Amino acid sequence: MDAKEEINNENDNETSETHLGYFTRSKRRKLENGRENYTKASTSTILKRKISILCLPNEVITIILSYLAGNELSKSIRLVSRRFKEISGNMLNNSFKKIGKTINTLISNTELSLRCINEDVELRCVLKLLNMLEILKQSYDIVIATVWRYVYNEYYVTTKTCLFAGKLIDVYFSFIYKFLKHPNLLYGSAIIDDYNLPSEVTKIVEMTKKFCVHFDKVIEEPISNFPPQSGCKLIDIFNCSQFSNSNVLAEKVVGKDSFVGEYCYFFQNSWFVAIPISSSKQSDWFHRRRMMHMRIRRIVLAHNELFLQQSQYERDLLLRADPTLYRTRAPENSVYTGFGDIGNNFFYYGVMNNGAFRQKFAEQLEEEGLYGVYPVDVDEVPNQEDVVAESNSESNILYRIPYLGFHAHIRVKCPLSFAPLRFLSTLDGSLVQRLKHNTEDKDTEGSVDIKVSFNCMSAAYPCLPTNYEYHENN
């Protein structure tokens, strides 16, 4: 039999009639001869538009992204869109600034805690933690000196970027977390081996060196239209040296917005020699400037590292006069050297600690009978004018007394906005506000003139050049 189906048309205005129809398969039902009104069934579901994360305010996105690691922000999130790049960049910059404040606070609190410790074992553990914090402080300062003009600059217009070393930030936070929650995981290895640092500290030191080189090469060197953007970056790097004898000979504001400075640095147990050579290699001014920044940064980092070990060793002997455990052993004899040629000069530089210096020159001092007359640890550089150089003469004291160290004399003249960071941080608020208002003024892009005179008197012993002049001028 054929299937019978009853079709009912519901209409509020007319009385519906019943119709019979036959269907062989399921399909749309047709109205008869157009005499019936067809009404579409209304849906009771209200469709809502999904809200994209891009529609959220920046504050909400910042809270969401705060659960991600810094490495993810720098490698992935920062590349999604321009808006995400700005948000993640600000988060990375703020995180690194927070790290600096946290390290300074931890150092201050740890130094205060040393006064309240009576037990030798606890004192030894706290000293190891303080040593690690001081190492991280050195690495942090050198990064700030390298990037602040392009990341945190509020004094003049530069190419803005962010501190994209997200992995470096993650390792810093990992160390801080262990320091506050599980300090035994940090000083445990150092108690067994005096100079065995935890993995976080060694990673930070290595990544700092690589990041600074990468930042100069990728961010700073390609900026060739405005040479003075780097300002007095070379002096900022010199100011990171904690154990050099530094003197500020002059530092003042001239006229309305000009800066004049003169500085003198002496690096003990160090050398810096530039040997003239004939080379066919071509290098532009920006490449030579980047390489000079890299050399000085290497010397400063090596000098800080070697002399910080000696300083920490002497502090340990002073505070632990009667140790219940074994005494801390003296630092091993260490030497750092670097070399490379660029243009028509071959550069050779390096640093050695006191132990390596004594090992190399003690026998010579004893043979000359000058071991008690001339101290091994030289604190002051002899005046070059007081020494009459006689080539390979035995009467010349330079050839009889082992003397190691180089002298860097810096003269700078530039707009006030380009001054070293240490000087800018001492300016009063009104002058800083005036500099900030003048950042859009093109007149502030003046000339930066830096002259550095390197004098390594010990290079006269092997008959090498003792002086080298370096000049930065856009």
Residue by residue, DSSP assigns 72-86 as HHHHTGGGT-HHHHH
- Count CB-CB contacts under 10 A for residue 55: 10
Instruction: Tell me the two tokens of residue 432.
Output: 């800083």
Q: What are phi and psi of 344, to 5 degrees?
A: -105, 30
Domain boundaries, the chain: 52-220, 231-322+336-474
Instruction: Pick the closest to residue 420 from 446, 444, 448 (CA basis).
Output: 448
Q: What is the pLDDT of residue 194?
A: 82
Give residue 52's pLDDT: 74
Helix axes 82-113, 166-181, angle to 10 degrees: 30
Counting other chains too, the contacts that 59-66 makes at CB distance below 8 Å and 24 or more residues apart are 61/87, 62/87, 62/90, 62/91, 65/91, 66/91
SS3 call for 46: coil
Give the predicted TM-score (pTM) of the model.
0.81
Helices 120-151, 199-215: axis angle to 10 degrees equals 20
Give the closest residue to 90 by CA, choosing from 164, 181, 182: 164
User: String of b and e for 160-179 (b: at least 16 CB within 10 Å)?
Assistant: eebbbbbbbbbbbbbbbeeb
Q: Which amino acid is at 333?
A: N
For residue 465, give the nearest of 343, 290, 348 by alpha carbon. Answer: 348
| CB distance 270 to 406 below 8 Å | yes
Residue 258 pairs in a beta bridge with 254, 415
Q: What CA–CA distance (Å, rounded) separates 179 from 173?
A: 10
User: What is the signed CA dihedral for 64, 67, 71, 77, rounded to 10 degrees?
Assistant: -20
**DSSP states along 368-391:** HT-TTTS-SS--SPPPGGG----T
User: Which residues does 265 contact at the CB level (< 8 Å), separation at least 6?
Assistant: 238, 241, 244, 245, 246, 247, 407, 408, 410
pLDDT at 226: 55
* Cα–Cα distances in angstroms (integers) from residue 271 to residues 66, 82, 327, 473, in the given order: 46, 47, 32, 25
- Grouped pLDDT means (10 residues each) for the chain, 474 residues: 49 51 52 54 59 82 93 92 92 95 96 88 91 96 94 83 92 96 88 87 96 92 68 94 94 88 95 89 84 95 95 90 76 92 90 88 59 40 40 44 83 91 88 72 68 92 91 81
pLDDT at 280: 74
185: Cβ–Cβ under 8 A, 6 or more apart, which residues? 178, 198
